[in-house]
Amino acid sequence: MSAPKIKFDLQIKYGTEYGPEEERAVLEVLRQGAPTSGEACLQFERDLAAYCGVAHARAVSNGTAALFLSLVAVGLKRGDRILTSPITWIATAAAGVTLGAEVDFVDIDPVTYNLDPNRLEEKITPNTKAILPVHLYGQCCDMDPLLAVARRHGVAVIEDACHAIGAEYQGRKAGSFGVTGCFSFHEQKNISTLGEGGMVVTNDPAVFERVALYRSHCTRVYGRSTKYCALDEAKFPMGRRFWWQDFDDCGYNFRMTDVQGAVGVVQLRKLDALNQRRRDHAAYLSAGLRDVPGLTLPVVAPERTHVFHLYPVQIDSAEFGLTRDEFVHAMLHERGVKVGTHYTPLHCTTAFQRRGFKRGQFPVAESVAERLVTLPLNPRQSREALDYLIQSVRALRRR
Ligand SMILES: Cc1ncc(COP(=O)(O)O)c(C=O)c1O
């Protein structure tokens, strides 16, 4: 295998792979005029709902829209509070902030890097409306204790399952535990719908109706209406062909296109095989790096099926011989491998420092983030690419 091909396989940019089946699906919808949300999206929704074991699913334009619509659907309003992990992509917290809510964070478990349910209850106030657990890097949060706290306080749980499509906790799929589960099909995710896309899943019919309404400007089309029509039906006998439109509220356009939906149908069929490849690659990396001093490799907690959206590693600089930042730099410039740093703790970012957060507030998240890198992992990687990655990490230790 050529060096450039190995290096391409070691970029974290693309999380899935497409083949002739996706090409055929795109062409078919294109020949039908490539509409917005239509039959292909409906099929994708039915398939993903069945896959997750839930009653309803609605395709949306991205994962951020899925989170946003979920919060709208549970009635989040200005001044309400939401709780989430400080170690996540900003979308998890920003969806609530843009609706006028206040965000607070719950520190993380140092082993799984997920929100620590033992620290949750002390953060709940009378204004807390929703908890957004993030199944980080593809591993589910410890949902039993988290759901118990939420139930005790009557708080909605909205799962950010954007990293975790197909992941399981106690044999149940990520996304099926909360009032809603939110997925992203961005280009880096385990499956993608042409670079962008998302889905909300839920068992609650009222929540589903609100998600569906607000996704598309709260539009209701009536088969035959007298309420909003001044026309005298006796003079204009249009009968059943007559329709009129009303809007329940001001909503959004967060629809998915049918070309994306058609690709989603095909990608979902491949998901389990793609996730298995990710697990195999993670096991290969762990075997190849297990004896390297100064590295903390990912741990799969009991009763979880991890889907390794990312492969997180903590670097102890005293033992390894490089700091996190030196490691990232050397991997890129000496080995041509792009290593990630997912994520800067949100309370340390400008957006949340402006909202009054201070360094030091979530010490576990901060100490983990200072040491954490994510090694490239995707289902396209060849053995040679994985070997090159392992050799590269090993070569940098105490040179
Ligand atoms: C944890 C998490 N939540 C939410 C999102 C938002 O998804 P999208 O980019 O599709 O809006 C992402 C995207 O990267 C994510 O990683």
On the question of pLDDT at 228 being above 60, the answer is no
Q: Is 345 part of any domain?
A: yes
On the question of pLDDT at 223 being above 60, the answer is no
Cα gap 324→242, rounded to integer Å: 65
CATH number of domain containing 320? 3.90.1150.10
CA 324, distance to chain mean position in Å, is 25
- State the CB neighbour count (10 A cutoff) for residue 262: 28
CB 386 within 8 A of CB 105: no
Residues with CB under 6 Å of ligand 1 are: 62-64, 88-89, 91-92, 134, 160, 162-163, 184, 186, 198
- At 1-36, the pLDDT tens digits run 566 566 666 765 689 999 999 999 999 999 999 999
On the question of pLDDT at 213 being above 90, the answer is yes
Q: Is 133 part of any domain?
A: yes
**b (16+ CB within 10 A) / e for 162-190:** bbbbbbbbeebbbbbbbbbbbbbbbebbb
CATH number of domain containing 155? 3.40.640.10
Whether residues 253 and 346 share a domain: the answer is no
pLDDT score of 37: 95
Whether residues 264 and 281 share a domain: the answer is no
Mean pLDDT of 101-118: 98
Please confirm, yes or no, whether 189 is among the known catalytic residues: yes
pLDDT score of 398: 83
Distance 389 CA to ligand 1 centre (A): 26
269 or 248, which is more confident? 269
Whether residues 370 and 293 share a domain: the answer is yes
Domain that holds residue 314: 270-396
pLDDT score of 238: 56
- At 157-204, the pLDDT tens digits run 999 999 999 999 999 999 999 999 999 999 999 999 999 999 999 999
Number of domains in the chain: 2
- At 36-69, the pLDDT tens digits run 999 999 999 999 999 999 999 999 999 999 999 9
Determine the atom of ligand 1 nearest the C-alpha atom of 186: 10
Whether residues 276 and 392 share a domain: the answer is yes
Whether residues 95 and 206 share a domain: the answer is yes
Distance 161 CA to ligand 1 centre (A): 9
On the question of pLDDT at 226 being above 90, the answer is no
Q: Is 9 part of any domain?
A: no
On the question of pLDDT at 241 being above 70, the answer is no
Whether residues 260 and 279 share a domain: the answer is no
On the question of pLDDT at 222 being above 80, the answer is no
Report the mean per-residue pLDDT for the chain.
94
Whether residues 214 and 288 share a domain: the answer is no
**What percent of the chain is modeled with pLDDT above 90?**
88
Q: Is 234 part of any domain?
A: no
Whether residues 293 and 196 share a domain: the answer is no
Whether residues 311 and 331 share a domain: the answer is yes
Determine the atom of ligand 1 nearest the C-alpha atom of 64: 11
Counting Cβ atoms within 10 Å, is residue 292 exposed (0-12), middle (13-18) or buried (19+)? middle
**What percent of the chain is modeled with pLDDT above 70?**
91
Whether residues 204 and 284 share a domain: the answer is no
Distance 222 CA to ligand 1 centre (A): 35
318 or 7, which is more confident? 318
Closest CA to 12 of 371, 392, 394, 374: 374
On the question of pLDDT at 293 being above 80, the answer is yes
pLDDT score of 399: 74
Q: At what angle do helices 63-73 and 205-215 cross, to 10 degrees?
A: 120
Select which of 189, 227, 270, 358 is catalytic.
189
Determine the atom of ligand 1 nearest the C-alpha atom of 188: 14
Whether residues 254 and 280 share a domain: the answer is no
Q: Which residue of 186, 342, 343, 344 sits with most ligand 1 atoms within 8 Å of its CB, as the best mutation to test the pocket?
A: 186
Q: Is 6 part of any domain?
A: no
On the question of pLDDT at 283 being above 90, the answer is yes
Q: Is 385 part of any domain?
A: yes
Q: Is 239 part of any domain?
A: no
Domain boundary among 206, 238, 268: 268
225 or 305, which is more confident? 305
pTM value is 0.95
Whether residues 277 and 382 share a domain: the answer is yes
- At 124-137, the pLDDT tens digits run 999 999 999 999 99
pLDDT score of 233: 59
Q: Is 231 part of any domain?
A: no
pLDDT score of 245: 77
pLDDT score of 231: 56
